[in-house]
Structures are given as structure tokens and as C-alpha cells.
């Protein structure tokens, strides 16, 4: 409570300091060239010297305070009655803390009610000390900077150095996110692989985590059916829809359409990429899946399921069309004009030029685009969650219900949440596989695109 108030106080001090220092610096102005920096930079310099030490002290204290408060509590005579078991102790302490914050909370344990008062006292004591410390740091920083408001002081250089440091730190956040993803996936997957051998996970063909109890559970975590389902839906069925439609759309838009038509159709196609995946998923489940089932029944399948790989794959393919189309668009545009002109001049028709000259020349770029589209498709979640089904099937029948890596991740993590059982942890192992595969696809695709561009420049 008091700590958030002091945070506001530090910011207010910084604001006031900014005005004071700037005004003081203005008075120093004695003609052209008399000052190193403009007054406003003195303001910033002063404000930074107040706020940064204050924030630093605040951060340190926010981390340290719970330990200090705990120390005070355990020294209290009432704490002698706390049970030795760590779990119970933590439960009582957290309840006491809730009562200390809000006395109207009901106490399940009389001990926590007795502990609430000492906690409130300790929090008040350490909070006040911390607040004073923060203010002292801020004021000391300010005092130091106040002596620097002189005509010759290079305030601008100092402020810009801080700006550069902030920019650098923010840029490093991207690396931190990547490290965070890899770190958390590898760590949790490592816990999973303690119980299940990686070999059994990557090559086993039996997936039924629900039956995983007792001794050797490796046999229930064979992920091959999931990989197959993912590839079958995302890389085969979806691409059967997306590659022809996307490629032909791109060819029509770049080679045949007039500027006006292109100006209308290209944004319309891009709407397909902007529709949220949950909408596609609902569409797949509500409209496409029943039609697919009826069709399966009509061609003589007995008892086809509502959830089918085909329904999910078809809708996913439609979602991917704009990706394929815009990648193909770029690659076709990168082929030098002279190549198609040469072919046309020799008497080839436009379609012959496209088939014999343009497409072969643009092929690397198109293949890279398809790889990016596949990486997009196998990471897609909502469509398969809503339309593909839960049963792990190793079959080539498009009307069968099939499950994917992303579906199982959702399945494992949205049920009951005990964190440390192999079922939940398997989601992270699946996530790791998914991350690695999409990463490899992306890196190869970006390499190919880059080399392809260079070839024609």
C-alpha cells in the first residue's frame, strides 16, 4: 500500500524536478554559445537522477520486503504454534496475510487470525522503512544532479546516453522472449522426459495419456499418430486446397488482371487472412463438417464421424490461401521483366510464358512460400480443436477423425491442472517439437527467399 504511494510520490518528484531544473537552467542563459545543453535537457537530467535511483530502491525493496516481513512474523511468539509442515505453514501464513489486508475475510484457522495483527504491524513497519529509503535515494540522486545544473554541464550527452541504454535494453527483450520460450519448453519437457523416454515419445505409435498410470508409462505416450495427423491435415489436405487456389490467384492477379481489378481483389483476398481462426473453426464445425460427413455416407462409408481430418484440412487450406498467394505474388514480381518479354517476343502465348518461363524462374520463392504456409498450418490450433477430433488415429482416410499436436496441447492443459504430472508436461514436449519444426521450416524458407532475391538482383 505505502509502497505504491511512494512510487507515485517519486514520479511526482521527478515531474516537479523537471520543471525546477529547466527553469533554473533557463536563468543561466547568457547569450549564444554560453551553455552546453538546452534547458530542457537539464530538466530531463535532473528528473532522471530523481526517478532512476528511486525506482531502483523501490524495486530492491519490493523484492526484499516479503522476506523481512516473514522474518518478523516468525520471531513473534504466536508463530511458535505454527505447524512444522511447510505446506500447512504457508497456507496459514497466506490466510493471515489476506486477513491483514482485509479484516472482514473469514479465518478458517484461528491461528491465522492471531497472526494477522503481527503481520499488519510488521508490514507497516517495514513498509515505512522502505518508503523512507526510496525517498532518501530519490532525494540524494536529486541533490547530486542539482549541483550539476551549470552552464557548462553536458546534460544532453548524459540524457542521450540513458536513452541509448533504454533502447538497447528494449531491443534485447526480443532475445529474452526467445530464450524464455526455449528455456520454459526445454525445462518442462525435460521433466517429462524423466518419466517417458524421448525415443518412445518420438517413435511410439500409441497415444493414450488417459491410461498412463503406475510404472512404465512410456508406452502410452507415442506421439507418431499426432505427428501424422498434423502433417496430414496441415501439410497435405490444406496444401491441396491452398497451393492451386493461391498460386492461380497470384498468377491471375499479377499477369492478367488490370490494375483496377487487382486493386479490388487483392485486399478482398487478404480479408481471408484476417478472419480470426476461431471463426474458421466454428465454420468448419457448423457447416463444413456435416457436409463432409454426408458426403462420406453418400460414397458408402459406414458410420462416418462428424469430426474429420478433411473438414479441418479444407477450412485450414482456405485460411492459408492468402499466404501462398502473396508469397507467390512476390516471387513472380521478382522475376526480371526481360525474361517474360523475351518469351513473349518469340511468339509464346501468355500462359505458355507463365508455365515455361515465369513459374520455373519463380519456383524457389514459391517453394519457400509454401514452406512458410505449412509452418503456419501445423501451428494452427482453433480449427483443429473445433473440427478435427480427439482420437489419435494413424490412418490415411480423410474422413476419419484425427488429432494433431496443437489439439493435444490444448487437451492436456485445459483439463484438471496438476502441474507436475506427465500428462500436463507432455504438452510442453509437444510444444517443443512444434517449435523446433516450425523454426526449421522458417529458417530454410527465409534462406531460400534471400538467395532467390540475390540471384535476380
Using CB under 8 A as the binding rule, whether residue 62 contacts another protein is answered as no
- Closest separation between CB of residue 425 and another protein, Å? 11
Using CB under 8 A as the binding rule, whether residue 1 contacts another protein is answered as no
Q: Which is nearer to another protein, 55 or 135 (CB)?
A: 55
Cα–Cα distance measured from residue 140 to residue 18, given in angstroms and rounded to the nearest whole number: 16
Comparing CA positions, the residue from 414, 320, 402, 418 lying closest to residue 369 is 320
- Closest separation between CB of residue 128 and another protein, Å? 26
Using CB under 8 A as the binding rule, whether residue 249 contacts another protein is answered as yes
Using CB under 8 A as the binding rule, whether residue 330 contacts another protein is answered as no
Q: Which is nearer to another protein, 26 or 350 (CB)?
A: 350
The three cell numbers of residue 346 are: 518469340
| Touching another protein, residues 351-370 (CB under 8 A) | 351-352, 354-355
Q: Which is nearer to another protein, 238 or 386 (CB)?
A: 386
Cα–Cα distance measured from residue 402 to residue 423, given in angstroms and rounded to the nearest whole number: 19
Binding another protein (rule: CB under 8 A), the pick from 1, 84, 87, 174 is 174
Using CB under 8 A as the binding rule, whether residue 230 contacts another protein is answered as no
Please tell me the count of residues contacting another protein according to CB under 8 A. Answer: 85
Stretch that binds another protein, among 104-112, 202-210, 279-287, 449-457 (CB under 8 A): 279-287
The three cell numbers of residue 51 are: 526517478
Cα–Cα distance measured from residue 396 to residue 300, given in angstroms and rounded to the nearest whole number: 17
| Touching another protein, residues 286-305 (CB under 8 A) | 286-287
Q: Which is nearer to another protein, 79 or 316 (CB)?
A: 316
Using CB under 8 A as the binding rule, whether residue 146 contacts another protein is answered as no
> Cα 242 to the chain's mean position, in Å?
26
Using CB under 8 A as the binding rule, whether residue 239 contacts another protein is answered as no
Using CB under 8 A as the binding rule, whether residue 126 contacts another protein is answered as no
| Touching another protein, residues 378-417 (CB under 8 A) | 378-382, 385-386, 406, 409-410, 413-414, 417
Amino acid at each position: 500500500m505505502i509502497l505504491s504511494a511512494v512510487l507515485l510520490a517519486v514520479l511526482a518528484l521527478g515531474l516537479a524536478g523537471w520543471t525546477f531544473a529547466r527553469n533554473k537552467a533557463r536563468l543561466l542563459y547568457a547569450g549564444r554559445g554560453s551553455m552546453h545543453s538546452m534547458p530542457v535537457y537539464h530538466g530531463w537530467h535532473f528528473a532522471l537522477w530523481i526517478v532512476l535511483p528511486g525506482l531502483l530502491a523501490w524495486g530492491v525493496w519490493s523484492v526484499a520486503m516479503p522476506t523481512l516481513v516473514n522474518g518478523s512474523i516468525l520471531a513473534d511468539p504466536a508463530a511458535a504454534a505454527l505447524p512444522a509442515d511447510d505446506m500447512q505453514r504457508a497456507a496459514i501464513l497466506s490466510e493471515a496475510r489476506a486477513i491483514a489486508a482485509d479484516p472482514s475475510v473469514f479465518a478458517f484457522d484461528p491461528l491465522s487470525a492471531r497472526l494477522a495483527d503481527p503481520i499488519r504491524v510488521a508490514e507497516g513497519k517495514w513498509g515505512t522503512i522502505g518508503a523512507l529509503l526510496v525517498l532518501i535515494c530519490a532525494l540524494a540522486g536529486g541533490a547530486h544532479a542539482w549541483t550539476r545544473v551549470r552552464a557548462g554541464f553536458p546534460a544532453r550527452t548524459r540524457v542521450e546516453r540513458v536513452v541509448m541504454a533504454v533502447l538497447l535494453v528494449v531491443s534485447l527483450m526480443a532475445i529474452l522472449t526467445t530464450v524464455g520460450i526455449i528455456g520454459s519448453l526445454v525445462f518442462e519437457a525435460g521433466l517429462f522426459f524423466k518419466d517417458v523416454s524421448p525415443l518412445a515419445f518420438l517413435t511410439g505409435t500409441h497415444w493414450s495419456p488417459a491410461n498412463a498410470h503406475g510404472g512404465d508409462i512410456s508406452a502410452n505416450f507415442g506421439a507418431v499418430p499426432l505427428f501424422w495427423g498434423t502433417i496430414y491435415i496441415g501439410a497435405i489436405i490444406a496444401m491441396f486446397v491452398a497451393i492451386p487456389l493461391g498460386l492461380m490467384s497470384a498468377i491471375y492477379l499479377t499477369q492478367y488482371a488490370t490494375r483496377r481489378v487487382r486493386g479490388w481483389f487483392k485486399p478482398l483476398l487478404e480479408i481471408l487472412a484476417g478472419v480470426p481462426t476461431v471463426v474458421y473453426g466454428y465454420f468448419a464445425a457448423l457447416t463444413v463438417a456435416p457436409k463432409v460427413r454426408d458426403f462420406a455416407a453418400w460414397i458408402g462409408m459406414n458410420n462416418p464421424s462428424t469430426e474429420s481430418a478433411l473438414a479441418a484440412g479444407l477450412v485450414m487450406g482456405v485460411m492459408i490461401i492468402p499466404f501462398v498467394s502473396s508469397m507467390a505474388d512476390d516471387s513472380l514480381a521478382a522475376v526480371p521483366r526481360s525474361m517474360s518479354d523475351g518469351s513473349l517476343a518469340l511468339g509464346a502465348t501468355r500462359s505458355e510464358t507463365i508455365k515455361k518461363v515465369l513459374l520455373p524462374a519463380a519456383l524457389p520463392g514459391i517453394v519457400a512460400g509454401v514452406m512458410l504456409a505449412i509452418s503456419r498450418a501445423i501451428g494452427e490450433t482453433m480449427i483443429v480443436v473445433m473440427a478435427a477430433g480427439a482420437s489419435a488415429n494413424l490412418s490415411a482416410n480423410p474422413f476419419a477423425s484425427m488429432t494433431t499436436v496443437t489439439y493435444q496441447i490444448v487437451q492436456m492443459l485445459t483439463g484438471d491442472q496438476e502441474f507436475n504430472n506427465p500428462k500436463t508436461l507432455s504438452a510442453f514436449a509437444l510444444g517443443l517439437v512444434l517449435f523446433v519444426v516450425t523454426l526449421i521450416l522458417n529458417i530454410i524458407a527465409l534462406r531460400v527467399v534471400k538467395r532467390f532475391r540475390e540471384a535476380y538482383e
